[in-house]
Structure 1
C-alpha cells in the first residue's frame, strides 16, 4: 500500500517538474529586445543601460531585465545601481578666506600668491607674489582654506556685504598644493529684491571630492564682493555614485495658471530636473512636488529660484532643481506668478537618474540579447559578490564591455512575438489544467486504495 502511494505522489511531482520546465522564461515573454555587442575579455561583461532602453522596462526596480544567449538561455546577471551616494553624517565647517588681487589691467591670468602656512598646512597669510602699487590692485576672488576638512566637500555656503546685490558668478578650482589646480565648474549665488521681498541664494553644490584649498575667481572682477562668511559642508562617502544620465525633453501640461505637470514614462528615482526657460528675463520662485500615481497625494520634493536673465549681453541661467532620488512618476511645478510666471504653456523638462550597469556571465554561444518589459517577471539578479567570486574594484575595471549595437534603438517586439506570447500563455494554462486533473485522478486512486479492504490470507 505504501509503495503504491509513493508512486502516486512521485508521479505528481514529476508532472510538476515537467510543468516548471515548460514554463521557463523565453525572450518572447518580454516586450522589448535589444541586440548586444561584446568586447574585451570575458566571461563577465558589463553593460551601461542607456536610459532610452531602460524606459522600456515595466518595473521600477528593473526586475524584468534579462540577458539571453543565441539558444534562448537566460544568463546569470547582477545590477549595479546607486540611487544616491551613501553618506555618513554631514558636517558644516567655518573656514578662513583670503583675498586674491590682480592688477586692474591683468584679469586674464589667475592671481599668483606667496603663502605662509603652519606645519599642518593651515594657511596663515596670503600675499600677492609681486607688490602691487596703490590703485593698481583689483579684487579678483578668494582663496579658501579647507585643509582642516578630511571628508569630501559637498556644498559651499557664502555670505557677503549687502552693497553687492544681484548675481555673483565665479569659477571654482581645487588644489592640494596651491600649485596645480583642477576645475570644479562654476558657482553662482544671488541676492535681490523681488516683489518687495528679499530673495537670496547662498549655496553652491560641489562634486563630492576632497581638496585642501579652493579658489573662487569672479568672471567679472569689478563685481567681486567682500565675503563675510564662508562655510563648507562635507560628508564621508562609503561608495561613489554612478554618474547621472539625462532624458530627452519631456512635454507637460497646464490645468491652471502657475501650475504645470509632467507624466514620466515609468516610476523613476529622479535626482535632477532641468526646466526649459525659453523666454529671456524669466524669474520664477518655484516648488516641485511628486507622486507615484494619481491616487496618491502630492509630496514636496524641492524648491528654488529659476531664472534666465541678461547681464552684460550674456544670459545668466539657473534652471535646475535637485531632488532626493525618491521614486516618482508624476511631477508638478508650482510657480510664484509675481515674477511673471513661465507662460501659459508648460515648459519642457529633462530629468536625470543614476546610471544603471548590468553585469552578466556569458554562458553558451552568442550573440546575446538584452530583453525587458514584463509586468509579471520576478527579480532574478544576483549580488555582484555572488556573480563574480573574489569581486574587487580591480576585477570591475577589467570586465569585458557590452554595448547596445550601434544604431539599434530599443523597439517593442513584433505582433508575431505578441501572438507567440498569447500562445505560450494558453499552453501554460493547458499544462496547469492537465496537472490539476492528473492530481485529482491520482488522489482518487489513492483514496480508492486506502478504502479497499485488506486481502485475507
Structure 2
C-alpha cells in the first residue's frame, strides 16, 4: 500500500513539474528547415522577402512558425510586413495651353455676381461666374485627353517670360469632362516671380493635394486673378504619379488530379490563405467555360467559388479570381459542356508576399527557420521592432537587405505535427488524472481484498 501511495505522489509531482515548470528555450532543431541569411554591414535591422518554401512548408497558414536565430542559437525579434513594390518615379509631360478671351456679360446671378463668357480662337465658349472684388487677369484652357492610364495628375508647372519688376497673382483651377460642368480643384493658390537685387523668388508650381484622377477629367480651366502686372504663360507641364501599387504576390502552383472527363481537383500540401486564384487552359487558343468550387480542408464540403470563362490566347493573361485570404486546401474545376482532355487546366494560388524584418543581434550568419506545429506567434509590430526615434530606419525602404543562402535541414518532418507545450500539458494532465483515478480504484480494491482476507482468517481461527 505504501508503494501505491508513493507512486501516486510521484505522479502528482511529475504533473506539477510539467504544468508549472518553465519551457526550454527554442532552438533551430525545433523547426523543419531553414535558410542561412548573410547580413553585410552594421545595421541593427535587415529585411528579406520570405522564400517560396516558407509558404509551402510552414506548419501554420498564418506563418506563426517562423523564427530567426543567430549563430549562437538565440532567437531574435522580428516583424512581418506585406511586400509592396516601390512606386515608380513620377512622369512629366508637356501640356497644351489655349488662351481664352474674356467678355463680361451684363446678367447677374442671385448673389449679384457677374458672369464672364470665355472664348477660344477656335470658338469654344465657357460661361463662368466671377466674384465681385476680383480682377480677372487671364484664363487658359488645358486639354488633358486620356491622360496617363492608371495615373493621377499631381502637379502643374507653368513657365513665362521673366519680367524686370516681377509679379504675383492668385490662381483657381477647375476640371471638367465635357466643357459644360466644372468642378473646383484648386482655389486661391499663389503664383509669383519676384526679384530683389540678384535674388529671385519663384513659385511656378500648383499641387493637387489628393491627385487629380484622369478617368473623368479631360480639361482644366486656369483662372489667374488680381495679378500685379500683365502676364502670359508660355508653357505648362504636368506631373503624373502612378496610383498605389498592389502588394507583390507569391505564386503557389497546385497539384491537379483528374476525377472525371470534365472535372479535376487541385490541392496544396497545406491550406493556404489565398488572395487570388489564376487559371489557364493547357491547350493553345483555348476558350473554356468552367465552374470552380473550393473547400478549406479535406473533410469540409465543397462550396461554390466562381463561374467564369478561362482563356489561353496570344497576349491574353490568365484569368484571376480575387479572394479574401480565406484558407483553401483544394479547388475543383469543372468544364462546362467540354472535356478537359489529357492535359489539365493550370491552377495557381497567389498570396501576398511577406517581407521579414529582424534585429541582427549577435554574430551571423543568421538562420531563418520554419515548420513547427508546436510554435506560437512571436511576430512583433514593425513600430515595436523599430522605435520611432530611429529615424534612419523608420522607412522600410531604407533598411538593408539580408541575402538568403542555402537551405539546411533541421528537425525534420516530425516537427510539422509537434504539439505546443500547452497542448502537451493538457494531454499529460489527462493521462495523469486517469492514472490517479485508476491507481485510486486499484488501492480501494487492494484494501477490500485485505479486509476480506482478515475477516476470513478470523473466522478460521
TM (normalized to structure 2)? Answer: 0.51
Deviations 1:249-275 (A, max 9, x none): 443012123222111122222223333
Quote the Cα distance in structure 1 between the aligned partners of 2:99 and 2:382: 46
> Counterpart in 2 of 1:213?
214
User: Secondary structure in 1 aligned to 2:361?
Assistant: coil
Q: Would the alpha carbon gap of residues 74 and 179 (structure 1) be closer, same or farther in structure 2, given more than 3 Å must change?
A: same
> Counterpart in 2 of 1:53?
54
- What are the within-5 Å matches in structure 2 for residues 221-370 of structure 1? 242-247=247-252, 249-309=253-313, 315-325=314-324, 326-337=326-337, 340-370=338-368
Q: Would the alpha carbon gap of residues 54 and 330 (structure 1) be closer, same or farther in structure 2, given more than 3 Å must change?
A: same
- What are the within-5 Å matches in structure 2 for residues 24-423 of structure 1? 24-81=25-82, 143-144=145-146, 172=149, 174=151, 176=153, 212-213=213-214, 242-247=247-252, 249-309=253-313, 315-325=314-324, 326-337=326-337, 340-390=338-388, 394-405=394-405, 408-409=406-407, 412-413=409-410
Structure 1 position 49, deviation (Å): 0.2
Q: Which 5+ residue runs of structure 2 have no aligned equivalent?
A: 1-12, 85-93, 101-118, 123-143, 158-209, 217-242, 437-461
Q: Which 5+ residue runs of structure 1 have no aligned equivalent?
A: 1-10, 84-111, 119-123, 128-141, 147-171, 181-208, 216-236, 310-314, 441-457
Paired positions, count: 283
Deviations 1:299-353 (A, max 9, x none): 33333221234xxxxx25342222223221211222212xx44424422322221
Deviations 1:398-424 (A, max 9, x none): 22322311xx24x54377x979x99xx
TM (normalized to structure 1)? Answer: 0.51
Q: Would the alpha carbon gap of residues 179 and 279 (structure 1) be closer, same or farther in structure 2, given more than 3 Å must change?
A: farther
Quote the Cα distance in structure 1 between the aligned partners of 2:257 and 2:60: 25
Q: Would the alpha carbon gap of residues 305 and 366 (structure 1) be closer, same or farther in structure 2, given more than 3 Å must change?
A: same
User: Secondary structure in 2 aligned to 1:39?
Assistant: coil
User: Secondary structure in 1 aligned to 2:274?
Assistant: strand
Quote the Cα distance in structure 1 between the aligned partners of 2:154 and 2:361: 50
Q: Would the alpha carbon gap of residues 317 and 74 (structure 1) be closer, same or farther in structure 2, given more than 3 Å must change?
A: same
Q: Would the alpha carbon gap of residues 15 and 286 (structure 1) be closer, same or farther in structure 2, given more than 3 Å must change?
A: closer
Structure 1 position 42, deviation (Å): 1.7
Structure 1 position 394, deviation (Å): 4.2
Q: Is the 8 A contact 2:276 2:322 kept in 1?
A: yes
Q: Is the 8 A contact 2:281 2:288 kept in 1?
A: no
Q: Is the 8 A contact 2:292 2:331 kept in 1?
A: yes
Q: Would the alpha carbon gap of residues 321 and 367 (structure 1) be closer, same or farther in structure 2, given more than 3 Å must change?
A: same
